[in-house]
Chains A and B, each alone.
Chain A
Amino acid sequence: MSDSVSLSGVGIGRGLALGPILRMPDPLPEPADVASTVGADAEKVRSAGALAATAADIRLRGQRAGGAAKDVLDAQAFMAEDPTLKDDVDARITSGKTAERAVYEAFAAFRDLLTSMGGYMGERATDLNDVSQRVVAHLQGVSAPGVPDPDYKFVLVARDLAPADTALLDLDKVLALITSDGGPTSHTAILAREKSIVAVVGATGALELTDDQTVIVDATTGAVTVDPTDEQKAAAEATIASRAAAADVPVGPGALADGTAVPLLANLGSVDGAEPAIEKGAEGVGLFRTEFLFLDADRAPTVAEQQEKYTQLLTAFAGKKVVVRALDAGADKPLSFLNDAPEENPALGLRGIRALRANEPILRDQLTALANADAATDADLWVMAPMVSTVEESRYFTKLAKELGIKTAGVMIEVPAAALLADRILPETDFASIGTNDLTQYTLAADRLLGSVASFQDPWHPAVLRLVGEVGRAGASLGKPVGICGEAAADPLLAVVLVGLGATSLSMSPAALADVRAELARFSLDQAKEFAELALSANSAVEARVAVVNAANAFTTSISTITESE
């Protein structure tokens, strides 16, 4: 049909975007340790100039950013101007190094010193790496690493984004993200989903895209159309406009076509997200990730500090259900004060409830702060433990939570062991919430951060669905609620399947609520159960999806055949 090239990856959400590409520069390679060809004096002039220019550039960025970012960037500017560091660089140049190599080594020496101090100081090591890369980039006359910041809107292309990069994205300028690495449940994908950024991850060939090529990014299909034709551009613009209009229609509670209520809740990582979630029709919060309150901290926040945040959240959702997850550190989001020990396989390490148990005072403080906030507000607070893998852990958490004043305590089912024993775990606790991202990771033995195994990271896999069904069945027979708070709930058709498997509520990033609400309204509970059976009987995620899509389409076609009498 057209001359345009198309790349494909995994789309996050259902958004569509059109715009020019900007590449995120790759990290610079370590400068080679070769002899200087220009002599020490000239190298010293070069390094001094690059350090000063980098400091000035960082300071300017800080002034533009303002707020907390300005403080961080000012500190980085002083690092580039540091007289002790400059002395170190000059000494290395005197011994025969190039300016690039001397800067690299001097920063590395300070970085190693800070890393060896551990904790908070160790975390500043990342800042040093960033400054070091910027100075070396300046010396080599190449673009500095980091998210580009032009004065126009663009589609960001990167190998992958660090959480810090994603957090600092200017959402008024970034139209979409395309990454070559990373799976659909990587930290980056989750943040992109939470911020409603159109994203396609794991797109092979993305790194061959060049700045100022134009692309259409379609998260629904995971397709990236490169250099689209005028017709393709016009069609994309029309779709973007009509979706923007559709997003403004009134919202209501989630329900199936036969009236079965399926409460639709929001996954949130910060109190700021409450207002927009309610506007999109969230009936409450199904997963409040408390670790984002702790991420920049070098120590656990006090009871009073936490209580203030929780009170704000619960106040925003007065009269509604709010499910808070106790601190879940580890794997992709380490917290130095919870688990500082290096681990070969962090996903299989001391994380979730295990890390909390090893640091019970931190857990006690958090539960106390939550109970206090609950007492002071009108929301319906539920609290759950992350990554529970045994009946005994469920008993431990529930007992401790109740003792500290939590009214409703539950566990997250993210490990196959917990799903398989759901009929024994649920009697020990008030509810279960299935985290489909981790459950998929552990069931398929596929690291959710690793692009090379991203194809395994698919919650449509019948093995994952069978485990969900175990929990759903146990919940139904014991009369206990079973929620889904993984990203699987944000996939509209999969959401219907999950309800068919026994999920009683669905929680997702607010951006996905409208699509899921619309899809649920198309089918009855019996149909949802049929779809669930179809998916369970498939041999693979792809087969399961195709089978259910076909069944759903057949239903839609029969309806439209009647109404349009085609």
Chain B
Amino acid sequence: MPDRSVVIASANGLHARPASLFVQAVAASGLAVELTRGDKTLNASSILGLISLGLQHGDEVTLHAEGDNADAVLDDLAGFLGTDHDA
């Protein structure tokens, strides 16, 4: 059951542009990825779900996926969220 905890690094949070790039990366992985923040868990390929979480710089989220390559996929996705895309 691979999980990754990651802190949102983008200075302005996960707004439309980084959210769209993230959703693209999730779709490319071919796996069903879940993103949890607090008590809310959502399908990580939902851009509207991500935007409506209003994730800000410094917020902590957990990623979860199962299947082939899940570890590698999660490492990539965690790396994406851990990078400042507003820099």
Contacts and interface: CB of A to CB of B under 8 A. Distances in A.
Contact of A83 (B12, B20, B24, B46): B46
Main secondary structure of the interface of B (DSSP, over half): helix
A117 B56 CA distance: 13
Interface string B33-55: 00000000011011111011010
Contacts of A128: 48
B7 interface: no
A75 B47 contact: yes
B4 interface: no
Nearest to A85: B48
Interface in A74-97: 74-75, 78-79, 82-85
Contact of A71 (B20, B42, B47): B20
Given A75-B19, A82-B48, A298-B12, 15 more contacts: A74-B24, A75-B47, A78-B19, A82-B45, A84-B42, A84-B46, A84-B48, A84-B49, A85-B46, A114-B52, A117-B52, A124-B15, A124-B16, A124-B51, A299-B12
B61 interface: no
Interface size class of A (residues with CB under 8 A): 20 to 34
A96 B81 CA distance: 40
B8 to A, nearest CB: 14
B12 A121 contact: no
B24 A78 contact: yes
Contacts of B47: 75, 78-79, 82
Q: Specify which of B17, B19, B24, B48 lies most central, judged by the most chain A CB atoms within 10 Å of its CB.
A: B48
A120 interface: yes
B17 A75 contact: yes
Interface in B10-36: 12, 15-17, 19-20, 23-24
9 contacts: A75-B19, A78-B47, A79-B47, A82-B45, A84-B42, A113-B52, A114-B52, A117-B52, A298-B12
A82 B17 CA distance: 15
Nearest to A118: B54
A555 interface: no
Given A75-B20, A121-B52, A121-B54, A83 B15 contact: no
Interface residues of B, number: 18
A478 interface: no
Contacts of B52: 110, 113-114, 117, 121
A39 to B, nearest CB: 27
A101 B24 CA distance: 28
A237 to B, nearest CB: 45
Contacts of B51: 114, 121, 124
Interface in A180-223: none
Given A85-B48, A113-B52, A78 B20 contact: yes
Q: Specify which of B15, B24, B49, B51 lies most central, judged by the most chain A CB atoms within 10 Å of its CB.
A: B51
B48 A110 contact: yes
A421 to B, nearest CB: 43
Interface string A153-188: 000000000000000000000000000000000000
